[in-house]
Amino acid sequence: MRRRRAVKRQILPDPKYNSRIVAKMINILMIKGKKSTAETIVYGAFDVIKAKTGEEDPVKVFNKALENIRPRLEVKPRRVGGATYQVPIEVSQERGISLALRWIKDFSRAKKGKPMPERLADEIMAGFKGEGAAIKKRDDTHKMAEANKAFAHFRW
């Protein structure tokens, strides 16, 4: 390591569901510091989930979707003797969740034709069912790690 590690900041749980992961989703979704807009989108998506699933607590659906989308392995480029190898490494719980949140956000934004809360709800529901673009991204990440398993000995 070249420098000291950055200090992890503890974020406060969101006011409505009292969940840190929901607060993290709001922060990731936020553009140009417009937190109230991001909150409206996330809470709107949770209302849509509540209406579609009939589930009393949409945070349970959200957490299950995150668990399904979260990657377990990823590849990291390592330079060994002039060649760069894609070395598979295990993903920490924290990084896995932040990757899953980012993927949900990216694929929700990429869709067109519906309001953002509906697109976000659709992506979360797809993740809950084990389908959708974010799940495909996770599978691609796992496939790449599996294909480069031969370089696992370069891990250090």
Structural domain boundaries of the chain? 20-71+91-131
Compute the average pLDDT of residues 39-60: 92
Tell me what percent of the residues of the chain surpass a pLDDT of 70: 98
In the predicted model, what is the mean pLDDT of the chain?
92
Name the pLDDT band for 104 (thresholds 50, 70, 90): very high
List, for residues 7-21, the tens digit of each pLDDT value. Answer: 988 999 999 999 999
Closest Cα partner for 22 from 35, 10, 13, 32? Answer: 13
Checking if the pLDDT of 113 tops 90, the result is yes
Q: What is the pLDDT of residue 156?
A: 62
Q: What is the pLDDT of residue 85?
A: 87
Q: Give the global pTM.
A: 0.90
Rounded Cα distance between 122 and 71, Å, is 20
List, for residues 135-152, the tens digit of each pLDDT value. Answer: 999 999 999 999 988 887
Report domain 20-71+91-131's class.
Answer: mainly alpha
Structural contact between residues 85 and 151, judged by C-beta atoms closer than 8 angstroms? yes
Structural contact between residues 40 and 53, judged by C-beta atoms closer than 8 angstroms? no
